[in-house]
Structure 1
């Protein structure tokens, strides 16, 4: 147990999930902590690393097996030891899922929209495409119409192609507007993206992690294991929030939008603990070649810049 009550509360909260989401936590661990160090670690060191989270060896092995079967991880045997890495597909999924987590700031919005009309698709296919586009930040503007104020055209084209509906979908791009967010448009945004519910989730995130931030910033010397566990839980919870967040421009969000405070809190806490967490990882994780390699350059660009 940690000496920090807020951290113990977060660990207990994770352990009380039914079932424990070990596979999801392992993906967070790989994306946040292992991939910047080469992406490959010995299974035994992974088991030891996650033991303080209350995840037993059997559950970790089962979760690793499942992630391997689903194409996230691949295994390499060296003697009697197994070393696991993200696959090429797993790495692409990770980059897609995590790229928004560490970004410094979103680009300015000029008022343009991307609209996708799905009326020519069969109902069953329309549902699958809608779910994929909603994951990319699109919202339902009408029965068969999805819209996004900040869409990546290349990602959109790739998704429509992967779904086999590139020739059956109709894509419009509106012009930039002088009035970016009218009263009617703000109301539409609330309905299309369920902004109020998402705001409540951000409020809960702040309620959970602000006490931890306050407790850790007042410590004279931070324990390395506490820093690692705090960072893992922080990114695990924040990543899950961002999967629901369409990352709408500020002009379309309420003035008291809690997502802004949640992002600042996440950035501040991450910067506070990452140095000692890195020390802990270096001592806890092992590769086939020995100690964990140093973090790559992209790691230090997270959240607008980290101290080496």
Structure 2
């Protein structure tokens, strides 16, 4: 894991996204507290995190014979987009796919929107090439469009689909100044250092207990799900020769394949649900 403990709200978001969403989208507070206790999170911290997620519009209270919370319908598209980024977009983009360019201008009186745009574009994987000009692989265009509309920021931004880079700098050198490669690689190295030993250990085991799978999978996925956003997935020919994302992705894929299924079974055992079913 990272040096700092994972936030309970992040772990809860992972539990909902990875398990609860496919099992009806609702879980009782009691069952969630049981699951989170297995991750070392105390009940009061769970309740506080639920309150924060409710205020953010992520969770909505709903009673189904017991007090519980379901995912807000408004965040389902966000989780769906996350699935595409986390599980589908694991390979570098193709240089022939072109670029997505975002150009924005925000009045000084609305500079909070400028900060939000910078933050969100960075989170999507855009690099800053000049003031108000941001670039990303072309496959991120639709995600950027959806995000800007969802957050009410589209009126400030022009989105372009660009075919290629024409001139006047060496593109790999320019790209290395638009994205913070050392910071991205440091994040991948931290993940690999924490979870490659887990993957190696599990590879020697004959099966895994469902509860143990859950305890490994939720922190691992919580750590990982930030990385595909920090990494724009640039074409391989533009990346440093020692780019360490490939090894980190292999560790993630191995652990996902081994842990996700048993982890889901454990959640279903605790909650008394089946995929797509109701408690």
Provide TM-score, normalisation by structure 1. 0.79
1:27 equivalenced with 2:8 (yes/no)? no
**Is 2:39 the counterpart of 1:58?**
no
Question: Is the counterpart of residue 91 in structure 1 residue 76 in structure 2?
Answer: yes
1:208-219 to structure 2, matched below 5 A, reads 208-219=194-205
TM superposition shift of 1:70: 1.4
CA distance in 1 between partners of 2:149 and 2:187 (Å):
33
Equivalent residue, structure 2, for 1:131:
119
Superposition deviation, residue 155 in structure 1: 3.6
Question: CA 1:222–1:128 in structure 2 vs 1: closer, same or farther (change >3 Å)?
Answer: closer
Residue in 1 that maps onto 2:190: 204
- Whether the aligned pair in 1 keeps the contact of 2:211 and 2:266 (CA below 8 Å) is yes
1:242 equivalent among 211, 228, 232: 228
Equivalent in the alignment of 2:216: 230
Match of 2:144 in 1: 156
Contact 1:189 1:195 in 2 (8 A): no
CA distance in 2, matches of 1:165, 1:292: 39
* 1:176-211 Cα distance to aligned partner (Å, 9 max, x none): 46x9x9982112222211011111110111010011
The alpha carbon displacement at 1:241 in A equals 2.1
CA RMSD of the aligned region, Å? Answer: 2.7
Matched, 1:292 2:278: no
Matches of 1:38 and 1:101 in 2, distance apart?
21
Q: Which runs of 5+ in 2 are unaligned?
A: none
**Residue of 262, 266, 276 corresponding to 2:252:** 266
Q: Which runs of 5+ in 1 are unaligned?
A: 1-9, 286-290, 297-308
Aligned partner of 1:279 among 256, 262, 265:
265
Quote how far apart the aligned CAs of 1:59 are: 1.1
Q: Label 1:171 to 1:40 Cα distance change in 2 as closer, same or farther (>3 A).
A: closer
SS of the aligned residue for 1:146 comes to strand
Structure-2-length-normalised TM-score = 0.86
Cα deviations by residue, 1:121-140 (Å, 9 ceiling, x for unpaired): 32414333222222222111
Aligned equivalents of 2:74 and 2:103: distance in 1?
29
Secondary structure (helix, strand or coil) at the match of 1:53 reads coil
Q: 1:160 to 1:22 in 2, by over 3 A?
A: closer
- Distance in 1 (CA, whole Å) between partners of 2:251 and 2:28 is 33
Q: Which moved more, 1:50-59 or 1:121-130?
A: 121-130
* Structure 2 counterparts to residues 164-183 of structure 1, below 5 A: 166=154, 168-176=156-164
| Equivalent residue pairs, number | 273
SS in 1 for 2:226: helix
Q: Please state whether the residue corresponding to 2:163 is helix, strand or coil.
A: coil
Q: Name which of 47, 67, 70 aligns with 1:82.
A: 67
